[in-house]
């Protein structure tokens, strides 16, 4: 039985990847289980400068998931290289996925270039859902040209596979994915969270201090499967599927839709052992659905 997949030229023991923002820089989960059982993981969204993020409350519950507006809290790329990566090295011996955010094209290029030089980094996952401060605050990921510009700028200064992580809050996800592919992206990951909002009835105010936030969890799974399906059919580069994945069955469904690997996000926050459990459960589910090698079913939906 084969769980291994090849993601942009790097072999993964299995396709399960904790998603950025739900797994910190990994070492805290290493206290709970051996995180080397993972395919890899995508570390906390890292920016050029340190960020505290948004005011609290940053979290709201929803049916089928949660809304977060953490606001990319992270210590900044220099501290990640100096402090977080050495700590990770002690507990994780596989290439890690470096998740990068930015507020200008130059920010993205700078941060990616710094992380590209780190031996532990296997892939760069570029989150283009952030607002472009030089472009009127519109998210890079909502416009094919802006997403392509970020992709080109990052590709020009890096050597490792560049995976562009797309926002689902767009009219036509396929055109954005294709623009990134044409600009040189080595892979596409999707979906980031869906923009949502909750209101506190007693206070008649938004639950989240930032008013809106990103909805994630099982409620967005069907949307994610649909978008992965649409994008995987339209591009030739590998696609990482994510959005509400919580079980080995969900992993198989994402792969049938066209995902080469699968990220698991919100599930880690309610069950810190979720990814380990999914990996251990995959052989049973593969047997049940008569799957010999997971890599055989990528895009296998008829």
Partner 1 sequence: MKQSIFTILSNKALTDSVYQMVLSGDTSAITAPGQFVNIRLSGRFLRRPISVCDWEAGLLTIVYKVVGQGTRQMSLMAPGETLDLLTGLGNGYDLAPVGDSPVLVGGGVGVPPMYGLAKQLRALGKDVQVILGFNTEAEIFYEKEFAALGCAVTVTTVDGSYGVKGFVTDALKDLHYSYFCACGPEPMLKALYRATTTSGQMSFEERMGCGFGACMGCSCKTLTGNKRICKEGPVMRKEEILWD
Count of residues that interact with partner 1, criterion CB under 8 A: 35
At 104, list the tokens: 């200008």
Cα separation, 231 vs 189, in Å, equals 10
**Considering the complex, what minimum distance in angstroms separates the CB of residue 275 from partner 1?**
12
**Considering the complex, what minimum distance in angstroms separates the CB of residue 231 from partner 1?**
26
Cα separation, 207 vs 192, in Å, equals 21
Which of 44, 114, 155, 178 touches partner 1 (CB under 8 A)? 44
Determine contact, residues 241/254, Cβ cutoff 8 Å: yes
Least Cα distance to 196 among 206, 205, 187 occurs for 206
Helix and strand numbers, DSSP H then E, in the chain? 10, 15
Site residues for partner 1, 260-299, by CB under 8 A, read 266, 268-273
Cα separation, 100 vs 88, in Å, equals 17
- List, in order, residues 6 or more apart from 109 with CB less than 8 Å away: 153, 154, 156, 157
User: Of 8, 130, 180, 275, which residue is the catalytic one?
Assistant: 130
Is residue 56 involved in binding partner 1 (CB under 8 A)?
Answer: yes
Residue 90 or 119: the one with the smaller Cβ distance to partner 1 is 90
Q: Are strands 59-62 and 65-68 parallel, antiparallel or unpaired?
A: antiparallel
Is residue 68 involved in binding partner 1 (CB under 8 A)?
Answer: yes
130 is catalytic: yes
Is residue 212 involved in binding partner 1 (CB under 8 A)?
Answer: no
Is residue 22 involved in binding partner 1 (CB under 8 A)?
Answer: yes
**Considering the complex, what minimum distance in angstroms separates the CB of residue 217 from partner 1?**
5
- Interface residue list for partner 1 (CB under 8 A): 21-24, 28-29, 31-32, 44, 52-53, 56-66, 68, 70, 73, 207, 217-218, 266, 268-273
Active site residues: 130
């Amino acid at each position: 039985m084969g769980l291994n997949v090849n993601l942009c030229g790097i072999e993964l023991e299995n396709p399960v990847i904790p998603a950025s923002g739900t797994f910190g820089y990994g070492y805290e989960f290493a206290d709970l289980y051996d995180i080397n059982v993972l395919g890899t993981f995508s570390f906390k969204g890292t920016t050029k400068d340190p960020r505290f993020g948004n005011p609290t409350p940053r979290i709201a519950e929803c049916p089928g998931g949660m809304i977060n507006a953490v606001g990319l809290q992270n210590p900044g790329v220099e501290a990640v290289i100096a402090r977080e990566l050495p700590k990770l090295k002690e507990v994780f011996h596989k290439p890690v996925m470096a998740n990068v955010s930015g507020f200008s094209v130059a920010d993205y290029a700078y941060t990616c270039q710094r992380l590209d030089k780190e031996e532990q980094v296997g892939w760069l996952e570029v989150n283009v859902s952030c607002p472009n401060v030089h472009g009127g605050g519109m998210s890079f990921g909502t416009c094919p040209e802006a997403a392509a510009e970020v992709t080109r700028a990052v590709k020009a200064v890096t050597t490792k596979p560049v995976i562009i992580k797309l926002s689902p809050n767009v009219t036509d996800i396929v055109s954005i994915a294709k623009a990134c592919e044409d600009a040189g992206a080595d892979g596409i990951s999707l979906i980031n969270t869906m923009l949502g909002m909750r209101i506190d009835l007693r206070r008649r105010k938004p639950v989240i201090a930032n008013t809106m936030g990103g909805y994630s969890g099982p409620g967005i799974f069907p949307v994610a499967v649909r978008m992965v399906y649409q994008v995987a059919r339209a591009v030739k580069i590998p696609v990482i599927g994510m959005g509400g994945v919580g079980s080995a069955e969900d992993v198989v469904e994402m792969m049938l839709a066209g995902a080469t690997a699968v990220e698991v996000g919100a599930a880690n926050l309610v069950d810190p052992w979720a990814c380990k459990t999914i990996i251990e459960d995959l052989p049973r589910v593969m047997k049940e659905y008569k799957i010999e090698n997971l890599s055989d079913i990528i895009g296998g939906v008829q």
